[in-house]
Amino acid sequence: MLHTRLIPPVLGPLLDRPRLFRTLDSGVTRRLTLVVGPPGAGKSALLASWAGSLPLGEPAWLTLDADDNHVPRLLTHLAAALTRATASRGGEALRFGDGVSVPALLDEVSGHPHPLVLVVDGFHELRPGPARSALLQFARYAPGGLSVVLASRREPDLPLHKLRAGGELTEIRGADLAFTHAETAELFRAHGAGADDDQIAAVVRCSGGWALAVRYASVNPVRGNDPHSCLEGWSQAIRHCSDFLLSELLDPMPTDDQDVLLRTSLLGGFSASLLRALTGRADLNRVLRRLSTEHDLLVRDDEWTYRLPNPLMRGVLSRELAERYGWPEVSRLLNKAARWYEDMGATSAARRYAAAAQAHAAGPAPGGGILLPPGLGRVGGGASPRVPAGDATRSPARSPARSPVRSPAGSPRPSPAPLPPGEEAATGSGPYAAADSLTRSELDVLRLLPQGLTLDEIAARRHVSLNTVKTQVQAIYRKLQVGRRRDAVRVAAERGLISPRG
């Protein structure tokens, strides 16, 4: 049993991935390499393929499982992996006595005359406790001749910022692991699966390059000539991926984190403010950091905007959301998103979410096919209303033409208020922009209002205090003669102070 855990797993045809091999090759000159990604991202397959190409020779390899949460067993297995790797090179093998400890492991390795690479696969199997602490201690204080590669579904609790700053860390993340068009085509050829370029492109687009889905697709090749029906061509693969994702990713998560992740599947790009409206969670920022950093599930497009990038994963999660809570709840959440956008003045996005809510009020859209997240349309078949692909950074579309608000005939407009020292009035292209006398700082704040950021978030982005932003927003409302954010955005767009798209 242990022997199979001391060698790279056999996972079918292995694919050379030179772009990632180069990253791993550069990592062996550093103390630590992390390969972090969600379940099925292809971490083990990548490392197994790379292990056979190392010019240093076969690396020490240890695949962890739940039994390794016992410290003596874990350290014995580490010693066995290092002994096996050094013995296979024909030189003098490392030897460890009974009752091996972390200092003893480090001592013995430091005296070895040749460079060593240790791959530890499945770090997420270790629960918080003594065993995980022992492995992290070993990795952090590895001697100069040893490079450690950790593969995990979650980021290890190490001072990664220090390792990055010291140039001692190499990282491969979920986005890096996603299969490219060329890699997908190569894998299909390795499995003897025939598919043309359009079909390969459709598989990559539908799966997001998720390794598990791409591998399933290569075993259950696409049938037919229509690339838009790619998912329907391997529905059995979709079921396998769905079962795997729910059992390996969702079920181990705390219930509250599951609830947040499921709701992200209804959205494109989103801010914490929008998701808070859908969940009511006061600790949402902390949950989003866990999902984006520790689990590597969410991508951050900028400081405030997140998105779940994998379309297949989003489809699986949105269907799970509907199965758990029912389609009326999906419709209710989409309506909440529509109201949030309406409050932000983003009327175009609000209409799309409202249409999606109405379409899914009684269940999935008719017409068959594989459903993507509600409102995002289906793969194959007829179209259904589309939720915007990006939201938190989406500014409102131009409202229908309205007559500008004018002063009564003959009544003078008030004189502009004096500007603070160092400020100059901002002028837009609209006929009444100059009369509003917005300062440059106020205009900068105005441009952020359509993005749905809270005042706290605007203050952080502009590196000023919350009170400063509150004062500036009040001044904007006064000068635009409005009382709400959505009206400020609408009037500012009409007067040319901001573009219709922010």
Neighbours of 165 (CB within 10 A): 10
What is the tally of helices (H) and strands (E) in the chain?
24, 11
Q: Categorize the per-residue pLDDT at 501 as very low, low, confident or very high, splitting at 50, 70 and 90.
A: low
Q: Could you give the C-alpha distances from 466 to 311, 451, 456, 458, in angstroms and in order?
A: 37, 17, 6, 8
Sheet with 169-172, side-by-side order of all strands: 60-63, 116-121, 146-152, 32-36, 169-172
Handedness of CA 289, 294, 295, 296 (dihedral sign): positive
Q: Which residue has the higher pLDDT, 468 or 379?
A: 468
What DSSP letter does each residue of 380-404 carry, written as one string?
Answer: SSS---B--S--TTPPPPPPSP-PP
Q: Categorize the per-residue pLDDT at 464 as very low, low, confident or very high, splitting at 50, 70 and 90.
A: low
- The two tokens of residue 33 are 């390499």
Residue 137 CA, chain-centre distance (Å), reads 28
Is there a contact between 392 and 454 (Cβ–Cβ < 8 Å)? no
Q: Categorize the per-residue pLDDT at 336 as very low, low, confident or very high, splitting at 50, 70 and 90.
A: very high
The arithmetic mean of pLDDT across residues 104-114, rounded, is 87
Give percent of the chain above pLDDT 70: 79
Query: Of 4, 27, 18, 6, which Cα lies nearest the Cα of 146?
Result: 27
pLDDT value for 467: 65
Q: Show the DSSP H helices in 166-310 as ranges.
A: 174-177, 181-190, 197-207, 211-219, 230-233, 235-245, 255-264, 272-279, 284-289
Amino acid at 306: Y
Q: For the whole prediction, is pTM greater than 0.75?
A: no
pLDDT value for 117: 94
- Counting every residue written for the chain, the total comes to 502
Mean pLDDT of the chain: 78
| pLDDT over 90 at 217, yes or no | no
Is there a contact between 265 and 317 (Cβ–Cβ < 8 Å)? yes
pLDDT value for 234: 54
pLDDT value for 17: 95
The arithmetic mean of pLDDT across residues 127-142, rounded, is 93
For 102: left if phi > 0, alpha if psi spans -120 to 50, otherwise beta; the answer is alpha
Residue 430 CA, chain-centre distance (Å), reads 40
> Tens digits of per-residue pLDDT, 392-427?
333 333 333 333 333 333 333 333 333 333 333 444
Our CA dihedral for 68, 69, 71, 76, rounded to 10 degrees, sits at 0
> Tens digits of per-residue pLDDT, 352-406?
899 888 888 776 655 433 334 333 333 333 333 333 333 333 333 333 333 333 3
pLDDT value for 372: 40
- The two tokens of residue 375 are 């409102």
Q: Categorize the per-residue pLDDT at 332 as very low, low, confident or very high, splitting at 50, 70 and 90.
A: very high
pLDDT value for 311: 84
> Tens digits of per-residue pLDDT, 274-303?
999 999 988 888 899 889 888 889 988 777
| pLDDT over 50 at 208, yes or no | yes
